[in-house]
């Protein structure tokens, strides 16, 4: 009897909520906090630091509803805005249904933080309609607001003027302000003012003749994150674009290299269902993993896609919007959210050149892929820099390679590299997931020049590049089979030493007791206690250039290594 009464009360409460309205009067809700079944009316200013859901949502004239950073407003029905809604940086306004409407005489203010130097660019896309282009970044010269011109793969000012507004779904490259430092990034909140974009938004894409054509700068048109997987899997979009995104990062202004600049290596790449790879970076820096693209694309973020054909239509819909505020990156922002990504059978490798410049590649085994080139799951290098690392299928130099399941012991994955400087290079495992998370699942790197085989699950591999390489696609390959042990000696590199600014970085697989640096005559120049850690930093400030001998005492014993400063 008591149980039946409890069920009856629960049903009464649920039924009673249907069709109910609750009003915020500036102090409290008249009928409790709303939910997806309850209409909400804002009749007083409200600064919300919590997640709010409502069926139909109304802001009355003269009142402001502000969503704090990290929180969201989810509207399952219609939105009537006669006041002001403020969506702070990393907050979200989402209308979940493709039939949801927006109306009213009010406006939206959407804020987004960016981290820029004077000569940096951000790929922007407006989450509102009506935002003037030049007024968005006052202090940036008007000749540094760009659109992407597909036929010649260049950024141009063509067609932009003082009356230009952001077109929904279109991306723009905008330079940092003249007041910014050329060396130290500046954090600034940029503001969009207008009517929040909602519902279906379509962009016409261009594709000229040629396999390397068809790149278009588009962007997330909503004041919420979107899932690129859903964007691509839309029936119309799947026939319009390839399953790939490219994001500009600005990271590599700090990197110098011989032979060319890193313009193309500034792009981070994402393939839905496979994963992402960040730009070229300084090894050991925070960017090693944090600039890797994830499943969701942030509000206000512009990105490149490649069209399958000329005049293809890319359509964004409310069903592509997601309610989460985490799990994605806004490129050129100082801090990133916690990763949120599906777990696949995949691993990331990195190649470090003598200047400590690192390039990553991704190998993933997924159900949809073959071991041939799959145009929607494999992604070639955006550009071949003077220092590059890639895997090879036929003539394709891949930054991301998807391979078939199940994983075969007979698999052979060809690797290629290009380096611009003589010296010590490193190939190492950078990250791993799925079956490769278990270190017992071997990932063998075979050096066919020396016959050496290294299990990257146990250690990295170093080799000396005596000549500047144009491209080498015959020396290295990845194997999974145990019988490769017969092909050569399996080695495990315990000690890694590399230069970073005015210091030697020393990493070891065993705890370091002491590091000593001797000059060519055998004189002790400096020493440092390792404090039983596996990584130390040995200052070389004021040291003359030349050949030195580094002596490391660890729990394994004594190891010496020649270094050149």
In angstroms, the CA 475 to CA 450 distance is: 9
For residue 262, the model assigns a pLDDT of: 33
**pTM, two decimal places:** 0.80
The pLDDT, as a whole number, for residue 335 is: 42
Cα gap 96→100, rounded to integer Å: 7
The Cα-based distances of 494 to 35, 356, 461, 506 in angstroms read 57, 18, 9, 11
Distance CA 91, CA 110 (A): 9
CATH number assigned to the domain covering 496-564: 2.60.40.3080
In the prediction, which pLDDT does 354 show? Answer: 86
Q: Strands 302-306 and 388-393, how do they pair?
A: unpaired
Helix (H, G, I), strand (E, B) or coil at 214: coil
Each residue's pLDDT tens digit in the chain (565 positions)?
Answer: 455 544 444 444 444 445 699 999 999 999 999 999 999 999 999 999 999 999 999 999 999 999 999 999 999 999 999 999 999 999 999 998 889 999 999 999 999 999 889 988 899 999 999 999 999 999 999 999 999 999 988 889 888 999 999 999 999 999 999 999 988 889 999 999 999 999 999 999 999 987 678 999 999 999 999 999 999 999 899 999 999 999 998 765 533 333 333 355 778 999 999 999 988 877 765 455 557 888 899 999 999 999 999 999 999 999 999 887 655 556 655 444 444 456 899 999 999 988 888 899 999 999 999 999 999 999 999 888 788 999 999 999 999 999 999 999 889 999 999 988 888 899 999 999 999 999 889 999 999 888 889 999 998 999 988 777 778 999 999 999 855 444 444 555 567 777 777 788 888 777 888 888 887 666 788 888 877 788 888 888 888 877 777 888 887 767 777 777 7
What angle is formed at CA 489 by the lines to CA 283 and CA 491, rounded to 5 degrees?
Answer: 30
214/189 Cα distance (integer angstroms) = 32
């Amino acid at each position: 009897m008591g149980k039946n009464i409890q069920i009856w009360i629960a049903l009464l409460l649920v039924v009673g909520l249907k069709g109910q309205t609750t009003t915020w009067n500036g102090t409290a809700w008249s009928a409790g906090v709303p939910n997806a079944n309850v209409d909400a009316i804002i009749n007083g200013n409200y600064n919300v630091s919590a997640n709010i859901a409502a069926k139909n949502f109304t802001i009355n004239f003269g009142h402001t509803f502000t969503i704090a950073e990290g929180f969201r407003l989810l509207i399952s029905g219609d939105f009537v805005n006669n006041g002001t809604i403020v969506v702070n940086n990393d907050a979200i306004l989402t209308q979940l249904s493709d039939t949801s409407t927006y109306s009213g005489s009010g406006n939206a203010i959407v804020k987004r933080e960016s981290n820029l130097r004077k000569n940096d660019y951000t790929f922007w896309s407006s989450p509102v309609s009506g935002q003037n282009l030049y007024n968005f970044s006052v202090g940036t010269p008007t000749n540094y607001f760009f659109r992407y011109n597909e036929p010649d793969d260049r950024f141009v000012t063509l067609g932009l003027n003082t009356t230009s507004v952001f077109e929904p779904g279109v991306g723009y490259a905008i330079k940092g302000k003249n007041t910014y430092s050329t060396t130290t990034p500046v954090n600034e909140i940029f503001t969009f003012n207008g009517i929040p974009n909602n519902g279906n938004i379509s962009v016409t894409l261009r594709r000229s003749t040629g396999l390397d054509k068809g790149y278009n700068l588009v962007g997330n048109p909503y004041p919420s994150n979107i899932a690129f997987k859903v964007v691509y899997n839309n029936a119309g979009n799947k026939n319009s674009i390839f399953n790939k995104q490219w994001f500009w990062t600005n990271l590599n202004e700090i990197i110098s290299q011989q032979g060319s600049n890193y313009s193309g290596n500034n792009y981070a790449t994402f393939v839905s269902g496979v994963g992402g790879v960040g730009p070229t970076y300084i090894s050991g820096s925070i960017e090693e993993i944090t600039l890797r693209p994830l499943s969701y694309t942030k509000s206000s973020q512009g990105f490149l896609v490649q069209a399958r054909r000329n005049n293809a239509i890319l359509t964004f819909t409310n069903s592509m919007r997601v309610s989460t505020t985490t799990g994605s990156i806004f490129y050129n922002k100082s801090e990133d959210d916690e990763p949120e990504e599906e777990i696949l059978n995949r691993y990331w490798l990195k190649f470090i050149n003598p200047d400590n410049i690192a390039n990553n590649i991704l190998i993933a085994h997924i159900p949809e892929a073959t071991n041939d080139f799959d145009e929607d799951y494999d992604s070639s290098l955006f550009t071949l820099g003077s220092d590059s690392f890639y895997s090879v299928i036929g003539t394709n130099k891949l930054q991301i390679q998807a391979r078939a399941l199940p994983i075969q012991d007979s698999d052979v994955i060809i690797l290629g590299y290009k380096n611009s400087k003589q010296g010590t290079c490193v190939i190492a495992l950078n990250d791993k997931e799925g079956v490769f998370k278990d270190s017992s699942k071997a990932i063998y790197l075979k050096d066919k020049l020396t016959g050496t085989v290294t299990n990257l699950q146990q250690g990295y591999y170093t080799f000396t590049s005596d000549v500047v390489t144009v491209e080498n696609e015959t020396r290295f390959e990845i194997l999974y089979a145990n019988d490769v042990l017969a092909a050569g000696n399996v080695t495990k590199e315990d000690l890694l030493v590399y230069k970073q600014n005015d210091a030697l970085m020393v990493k070891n697989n065993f705890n370091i007791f002491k590091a000593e640096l001797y000059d060519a005559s055998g004189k002790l120049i400096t020493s440092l206690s390792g404090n039983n850690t596996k990584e130390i930093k040995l200052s070389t400030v004021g040291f003359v250039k030349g050949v030195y001998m580094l002596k490391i005492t660890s729990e394994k014993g004594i190891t010496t290594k020649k270094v050149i400063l």
